[in-house]
Amino acid sequence: MGKWKRSQAYADYIGFILTLNEGVKGKKLTFEYKVSEAIEKLVALLNTLDRWIDETPPMDQPSRFGNKAYRTWYAKLDEEAENLVATVVPTHLAAAVPEVAVYLKESVGNSTRIDYGTGHEAAFAAFLCCLCKIGVLRVDDQIAIVFKVFNRYLEVMRKLQKTYRMEPAGSQGVWGLDDFQFLPFIWGSSQLIDHPYLEPRHFVDEKAVNENHKDYMFLECILFITEMKTGPFAEHSNQLWNISAVPTWSKVNQGLIRMYKAECLEKFPVIQHFKFGSLLPIHPVSLC
C-alpha cells in the first residue's frame, strides 16, 4: 500500500479527480459546456453497454441477488472491449488500446461475484484518466467528462445494479457512504458550493431532492438510494445523514475527499484489484 501511495499512478489519479472537482464547482448539470467528438464517442460506447443490458434479460433463478445473466452481458464486454475503445481512440494512438481497455472491463463489476463497488468506479475514472494522458480527452473536456460521460456511466451502472441485482462489493453497510458509488458525491458536492439556497441539510428533504436532482449529481445519488432502500434515511444511510449536519458544501466537499482517500484509495480490499501499466505506473512519482 505504501508503494501505491507513493506511485505515479496514485498522484495522477488523485490529481485527475481533484482537477475535475475544481472544474465542476458551482455548475449545474444543465450548464452549457463544450462537447467534443471524443466525448460523443464515449457516450456512444456507454449507450452500447446500455443496449446490451436490454438484449440480455435477467434469468429466472432461485437466489434473489447476483443474476447469472450478468455473466453473459459481461462476456460480451470482455470480448468487445478493445473494439469499443478503438472507436474512441484515433488510429495513430492505437497501440494504447489494449491497456486502456483493461480499465473499461474493470469498471463494470466482477463477473465471478456479480458485485460492484467503489473499486470498479475507480477503474472507470482511471479509464478516463488514461484517455486524458494519451491526449484523446483534453483540458477543455473537463466539465463534459463529469456531466456527460461520468453521468452516463452512472446511469448504466444503476441499470446494471437493478437489472442483475448486483451485490455491493466490499460494502461497509450502514457505515459506508453508499453501497456502490463515491465520486458523484465528491463532484456533486462541488457543484453545490456557494449555492444560493440549497444547503447540506436540504438533501434529506424529499421535496428539495425531487425538485433539484436533475441539476445536481449529489441529489441524483440520494434519489437513487431512496428508491433502492426502505426505512428511515438516518438508519440505512447513516454516514450521509451525518453529512447533512455539516454547515457548508465546501466543508462537505473537503471532508468527502479526505474520506475517499481513507476509505477507498487507502484500503487494500479496494486497491488490490487496481491495474498498473505504462499509463498509470506503480513506480514512485518522478519529481523532474
1-272: which CATH topology?
Four Helix Bundle (Hemerythrin (Met), subunit A) (1.20.120)
Q: Give residue-wise pLDDT tens across range 225-254.
A: 999 888 899 989 999 999 999 999 999 999
Q: Which amino acid is at 226?
A: T
pTM of the model: 0.96
Q: pLDDT grade, residue 257 (50/70/90)? A: very high
Q: Tell me 146's DSSP state.
A: I
Percent of the chain with pLDDT over 70: 97
- Give residue 222's identity as a one-letter amino acid code: I
Distances (CA, A) of 67 to 50, 105, 113, 228: 17, 19, 10, 17
Q: In the structure, what pLDDT confidence band is assigned to residue 177 with cuts at 50, 70 and 90?
A: confident
Please give the DSSP secondary-structure letter assigned to residue 247.
S
Residue ranges of domains in the chain: 1-272
Please tell me the distance from the alpha carbon of residue 123 to that of residue 102, in angstroms, as a whole number. 9
Average pLDDT over residues 80-93: 98
For the cut 60, the answer to whether the pLDDT of residue 174 exceeds it is no
